[in-house]
Amino acid sequence: MTTLADLTTPCKPNWCPGCGDFGIWTAFRNAATKENWNVGNTVITAGIGCHGHIINFVKLPAFEGLHGRALPVATGVKMANHKLNVFVFTGDGDSLGEGGNHWVHTCRRNHDITIILHDNAIYGLTTGQTSPASQKGFKSKSTPEGNPDEPIRPLALAIAAGATFVARGSAYEHERLTELIIAANNHKGIAIIDVLQACMSFNPEVADYYKANTYYLGDDYNPKDKNAAFTKALEWGEKSIPLGILYKEEKPSYEMEIPQIAQKPLVSTPPLKRNIQTLFKQYL
């Protein structure tokens, strides 16, 4: 079984004190030990941002893509070997700004990957500019008079685009987030977890705001009700930010519907060698 020692790298996490990335890192490593995710069965990808440093702090095969391009990297890995557990670590700027188009189409295709969105509603790595998730009126280096834009609601966008597992968690509740990550990976199809966190250097106020205004969905909530899920995904405000699994739908994943890889991974299929000399001679 995978142990924390197996996942430990020589690099110690260097996020700012209090950063929510520590909580996500902790929850993911705990999930990996419970589920035996290891160097032989798991790959992680990341985009550009503070979140991307996680590939240095978890000893698993990893690839850090260009800004906004973590999702196409992950889908390429999954298409080549769909037996792997594939996790995407991405930020609200990375995936909703530069990579917004990939967000929509990855959801639409229902690739069997797990996306963990580090959502601190700001560009932290570039020292505090407004991101697509920043609230209207938010003052930052890029919007000193206040953000004029309405924020993107990533889970509502995901549901509308066709995602089949949509959830929200908190970076400050490790045990619950651990179980949410496990549930997401066990889902066959695209699974998205919007993890609320604070950037303690450039947007620290949201830490207390999230703690005061989030609540967990109860046992009476039905995550199969798409209309209810979409309504929940749009809820935001005082005492009205839901956590937990908002939506879950059973549907064949993209990889299951591609006949060339449905039965076995692409990496297990030997290349077909063909002599094309006859073809070339036609053009001589």
Give the CATH number, domain containing residue 207: 3.40.50.970
- Alpha carbons 246 and 234: distance in angstroms, whole number: 11
Q: What is the pLDDT of residue 24?
A: 98
Does the pLDDT of residue 270 top 90, yes or no? no
Q: Which domain holds residue 180?
A: 4-281
Helix/strand number for the chain, H first, E second: 11, 8
pTM of the full predicted structure?
0.93
In percent, the amount of the chain with pLDDT more than 90 equals 84
In percent, the amount of the chain with pLDDT more than 70 equals 100
Q: Report the domain count for the chain.
A: 1
- Alpha carbons 90 and 162: distance in angstroms, whole number: 19
Find where tokens 């095969």 sit.
61
Q: What is the pLDDT of residue 50?
A: 94
pLDDT tens column, 67-119: 889 999 999 999 999 999 999 999 999 999 989 999 999 999 999 999 999 99
Q: What is the pLDDT of residue 278?
A: 85
Residue 58 CA: distances (Å) to CA of 31, 32, 115, 152: 12, 10, 16, 30
Does the pLDDT of residue 54 top 90, yes or no? yes
Does the pLDDT of residue 277 top 90, yes or no? no
